[in-house]
Amino acid sequence: MATITTSTGLISQIDYQALIERLVQLKRIPVDELIATKDRLKEIDSAYYTLESRLKDLRSAADRLRTSGGFDVFTADVTDSSILTATASSNAAEGVYSVVVSSVAKSHKLIAGGVSDSSTTAIASTTGYFKFTVGSSTEYSVSVDTTTTLENLRDAINSLNAGVTATIVNDGSGTTPYRLILTSDSTGTSNSITITQNDTDLTFSELQAAQDASLTVDGLSITRSSNTITDVIEGVTIELKSADSTKTVDLTVSRDMEEIEKRIVAFVDKYNAVVSHVRNNNRYDTDTGLAGAFFGDPIARSVWDDLRRTMTSAISGLPDTMNRLIHIGVTTSSDNGAMSIDSSKLSNALNNNLDDVMNMFVDGTSTDGFAALVYALTDDMLDYVDGRITNKIDNLNDNISDMEEEIAQKENEILLYQEQLRIQFASLERLLAGLRMQGDFLANL
C-alpha cells in the first residue's frame, strides 16, 4: 500500500501531513466529545461509589442502635485486678458482687528422672508402651523400644493431641540434667494425668498437683476446674489471676454509658459524612464553570432530602419532651445541614433518661426511632435489586461501558480514515507526477 513518507508533496508542494492532521482533527471532534462525556460519567460514578460507601457506614451505625441490644452495653470493674478481672456481655445485669478467691485452678504436672542426652540416650531397655489418661479420657498409647530417646517420646506424646503437652527441660544438675515434663492442657482435678503403663526406664513424680479454683461470690462457695468462670454471674466472665483468702474484691457491673454515647456520636458522624459528600458534590463554580458530580442530579439530592427529613423530624408516639434529637443535644446547622452534639446534654440525658433516649432510636412495638428509620431508609437505598443508589451506579457503569465500546470503534474508524487520506494523497502525487512527465514529453516534441 502506497503512503506518503514526507510531509510535503514533491510535485504539488502541498503540506499533506498538516492537511491530514487537520482533517483527522475534524473527524475526532465527536470522539473527543464522547471521551469528555465518558470522563464526566466516571467522575459521577466515583462520587456515587463514595456515597454508597458512606451510606453503608451510616446503615451500620444505625444498626448498632436500632434495637435495645445496642443499649445493653455493660462494663465490669474490680477493686483489685491482681486477684481477678471481669468482662460483661450484653445479657449482664447491673449489680455489685463481693468475691473472695481462696485458690486458683492449676494444671497437673509430672516430671521424669533425668537422662544425660535428650536426643541420643535411649530411655527404654525393652520394647513396650507408654500409656496414660487425662481425667476420664480414653487411654493414649505410645510405642517405645531400645532406640527411643527423650525427644522421640516427647514428640510422640505431643502428636497425639491428647490434652497433654510434653516438654524437655535442662535443670543443670549433674550428668543427667535432661528431664521430661508432662503438663495437662486443662486445669483442675478432673484433668489429672495418670500413667497407666510405663515400659520406659523413666521414673515420674508429681511436679505440681492438679487444683480446682475455689472462691465465694456474695458468700456462695464455688468450685470450678478453670480460672475462666462464665456461669456464676449471668453475662459476666471472671478471670482468676491469684488467690488471697483474706481479701475481698468488689466486682461492679454497670451500664457502659460512655460506649452508648460513642455509638450515638458515630451515628451522627456517619450522617454528617453523607450530607457533606452530597453537599460538596452538588455545587456549581461560576468562576470556572465547573459543576460538581451531583449538580442537577435528583438521585443524590433525594438521598440528602430523605435523610435530613428523617433526622430532623419528631418520633410519633413519644412525649414532646423527648421525641427529637435536639432533646438530647443534637442540633442542625442552618449553613451546611451538618449536625453537632452537645456532649454534656447527651451525657445528662443518658444518665437520667436512658429509657427515653433508647425509645428515640430503637424499633419499638409502637414507634420507630431514628436509628430504626435511618436503617430502613439506607437499606432501601442500597437494596441490591431496587435500591436507588444501586440502580444509579449500574446505569452509570452500563453507559460508561457502552461509550468505551463506541469510542474504541470510532478510534478504529479514524485510523482507517487517516490511512485512506494518505493513500489518496499519494495517488494524487503520482497522478501529478504522471501529468508532469506527459507535459515534459509534449514540450520536447
For the chain, which domains are there?
A: 1-73+256-445 (no CATH), 74-104+213-255 (no CATH), 107-208 (2.60.40)
Give me the tens of pLDDT residue by residue for the chain, a chain 445 residues long: 344 444 554 555 566 677 777 877 787 888 888 888 888 889 889 999 999 999 999 999 999 999 999 999 999 999 999 999 999 999 999 999 999 999 999 999 999 999 999 999 999 999 999 999 999 889 999 999 999 999 999 999 999 999 999 999 999 988 999 999 999 999 999 999 999 999 999 999 999 999 999 999 999 999 999 999 999 999 999 999 999 999 999 999 999 999 999 999 999 999 999 999 999 998 888 788 888 888 988 999 999 999 999 999 999 999 999 999 999 999 999 888 899 999 999 999 999 999 999 999 999 878 899 999 999 999 999 998 889 999 999 999 898 888 888 888 888 888 887 777 777 776 766 676 666 667 666 777 6
Burial string for 130-154 (b: 16+ CB within 10 Å, else e) reads bebbbbeeeebebebeeebbbbbbb
The alpha carbon of residue 12 and the mean position of all alpha carbons in its chain are separated, in whole angstroms, by 71
DSSP letters of 57-72? HHHHHHHTTSSGGGG-
The reported pLDDT for the residue numbered 272 is: 97
**φ, ψ of residue 378 in degrees (nearest 5):** -70, -35
Cα distances (Å, whole numbers) of residue 66 to 54, 362, 369, 373: 18, 4, 7, 8
The reported pLDDT for the residue numbered 3 is: 44
Cβ(294)–Cβ(275) below 8 Å: no
For the record, the C-alpha cell of 268 comes out as: 451522627
The reported pLDDT for the residue numbered 423 is: 74
